[in-house]
Amino acid sequence: MTQNNHLLSLLLLLILSINQANAQEPTSHPKNEFRAVWIATVANIDWPKSGNDSIEKQKADFLEILDTYKKLHYNAVIVQIRTAGDAFYPTQLAPWSKYLTGKQGQAPANNVDLLAWMVTQSHLQGFEFHAWLNPYRATMDLNTAQLSKQHDWYKHPEWMLKYGGKYYYDPALPEVQSHLIAVVDEVVRKYDIDAIHFDDYFYPYKVAREDFNDTASYSKYADGLSLEDWRRKNVNDFVLAVSLSIKKAKPWVQFGISPFGVWRNKSVDPKGSDTQSGQTNYDDLFADPMAWMENCWIDYLVPQLYWSRNHRTASYTKLLKWWAENSKNTAIYIGNGSYKINADSDKNWYNPHEIPSQIDLTRTYPNLGGNAFFSAKVFVNKNKTVTQLLANNQYKYPALPYVVPNSRRIVMDIPTVCNKKQTDSTTTYLLNYPTHSMVRYVVVYAAKDSTQLDTNNPSQIVDKIAIQEKKYTISIVLPKNNSENNTTYALSFIDFYGNESLPTTLNPNAVKKTIEPTENEDPK
């Protein structure tokens, strides 16, 4: 008996060790992963190709970007809607961007709200829409004659500081912070976005032999702090205020920031990374992502690790490890410099496996949840060797974005079929509208037969369908020819926070009674 117990114990230990080893292995094809692309509008980098293009061409070019990245199984777009004191949407707080209409302050034809259209189209293609704003940059050059009279350079010259051939908003001024918070608040309340996104531009990158002249503000507001600590406090106060504003308006809208990839060098701070970066977040941009994470002011960070794995002074490999070891309270995704593919002095970027290998490396850290790529034009009919590698390997199957941090909850509703309609080629299922949850998507899964159906398997994700209906019933159209080949489908709901409901397997012979229609308040 004792010997049997000993053997049983050994067997249990062996099973446990095998399970632990398997748990530590990186998932080749994760079901949940952030896969984003930045769509830069400043200087017409990605979109629109020209501010003088017609609305029809601008729409077609945007749809081409969505189509490219949907085929690669991306699930988020980060679209720049404020570049330098301007706007890609109608507002009284900033003039229309010249990158959209060819002339700052000039409205698009028929006053079309392209931002509302872009958000809708992105959701219809299954993408999260992250609205990207540059808060502090006021102009791209010193040619103020080309600025609209509605630009803040004219309306509030006292807010402006000249530096490095541009004008910037003075981050220390309470009026500036109030104005920029109002800009963010308007976008959050007016548009059905999934996130507000800032990039790495806080205090400007340092320019040799030139000082950022905020002496007057420092004298007035420093209250005994050193210049460096005071500047960091200004940024921290703004980040906190933006966070509170977003969550007060729509708690499901995320707040994400994409800082420069190096917090501090180890040569300056033993807690810093093993890098020799010429500029850093903490010391030069006066941005402190560590404080934002510590205080839970943001939902996600996307540090910009725009270097190759073997870069001499700022290695992707070393920085990835540093961010994985120094993150807390916040989702961490990694920003990748795909714009360098076949276009950089670092010859590592001429290896088509560099980006795929960076993704593989990111996946070895369980607390790093995915990648974002700068910028969109890199894979639109370009660098096809790399895109083919991604399509065949890392991004072979779809993935769902993660739940908004600290927002995991049970989705009370599950898809319930109340009716179906058939044609020769399709079957349309009508689902009862959810009554307890704010639901954004229906996810469709498929397997060759019911015994193989596994909604945890990303290879079985067929589509993520945006719910356009506001009440009564939801219409889901599936190809009938697949059903005739014994394909089994399952459906689940995704709520506004990214939580997924339990799945419902479709049974062609069972249809439940329609729930009586209710007047559901539009959560948006």
Domain span including residue 288: 34-392
Domain with residue 69: its CATH number is 3.20.20.80
The CA-based dihedral angle spanning residues 242, 38, 130, 52, taken in that order and rounded to the nearest 10 degrees: 100
In a domain, 27, yes or no: no
- Shared domain for 252 and 350, answered yes or no, is yes
Token pair listed for 225: 């702090």
- Shared domain for 288 and 337, answered yes or no, is yes
What pLDDT, on a 0 to 100 scale, did the predictor assign at position 481?
A: 55
- Shared domain for 144 and 287, answered yes or no, is yes
**Which residues 6+ apart lie within 8 Å of 422 measured at CB?**
428, 480
In a domain, 408, yes or no: no
What pLDDT, on a 0 to 100 scale, did the predictor assign at position 149?
A: 98
- Shared domain for 158 and 84, answered yes or no, is yes
Domain with residue 427: its CATH number is 2.60.40
- Rounded Cα distance between 344 and 186, Å, is 39
- Shared domain for 383 and 426, answered yes or no, is no
What pLDDT, on a 0 to 100 scale, did the predictor assign at position 194?
A: 98
In a domain, 254, yes or no: yes
Tracing tokens 């709901």 back to the chain, one arrives at 493
DSSP notation for 507-518: -TT--PPPPPP-
- Shared domain for 234 and 348, answered yes or no, is yes
- Shared domain for 245 and 334, answered yes or no, is yes
- Shared domain for 273 and 349, answered yes or no, is yes
Integer CA distances (angstroms), 168 to 201, 203, 418, 447, in order = 10, 9, 57, 55
Q: Is the dihedral of CA 121, 123, 125, 130 positive or negative?
A: positive
Residue 297 · residue 239 · CB < 8 Å: yes
Integer CA distances (angstroms), 421 to 212, 425, 429, 441, 490, in order = 66, 11, 7, 21, 17
In a domain, 483, yes or no: yes
In a domain, 405, yes or no: no
With 0.95 as the threshold, say if the pTM is over it: no
- Shared domain for 300 and 349, answered yes or no, is yes
What pLDDT, on a 0 to 100 scale, did the predictor assign at position 295?
A: 98
- Shared domain for 373 and 436, answered yes or no, is no
What pLDDT, on a 0 to 100 scale, did the predictor assign at position 514?
A: 47
In a domain, 13, yes or no: no
In a domain, 188, yes or no: yes
Residue 465 · residue 453 · CB < 8 Å: no
Walk along the chain (524 residues) and give the pLDDT tens digit of each residue: 344 444 334 334 333 333 433 333 445 899 999 999 999 999 999 999 999 999 999 999 999 999 999 999 999 999 999 999 999 999 999 999 999 999 999 999 999 999 999 999 999 999 999 999 999 999 999 999 999 999 999 999 999 999 999 999 999 999 999 999 999 999 999 999 999 999 999 999 999 999 999 999 999 999 999 999 999 999 999 999 999 999 999 999 999 999 999 999 999 999 999 999 999 999 999 999 999 999 999 999 999 999 999 999 999 999 999 999 999 999 999 999 999 999 999 999 999 999 999 999 999 999 999 999 999 999 999 999 999 999 999 999 999 999 999 999 999 999 999 999 989 889 999 999 999 999 999 999 999 888 899 999 999 999 999 999 989 999 999 987 544 467 899 999 999 999 999 999 997 555 555 444 444 444 44
- Shared domain for 264 and 311, answered yes or no, is yes
In a domain, 522, yes or no: no
Q: Is 406 exposed, middle or buried (0-12, 13-18, 19+ CB in 10 A)?
A: exposed
Enumerate the H helices of 72-214 as residue ranges: 98-101, 114-124, 152-155, 174-190
**Which residues 6+ apart lie within 8 Å of 314 measured at CB?**
261, 262, 275, 276, 277, 307
Q: How many CB atoms lie within 10 A of CB 488?
A: 20
Count structural domains, the chain: 2
Length of the chain: 524
- Shared domain for 382 and 432, answered yes or no, is no
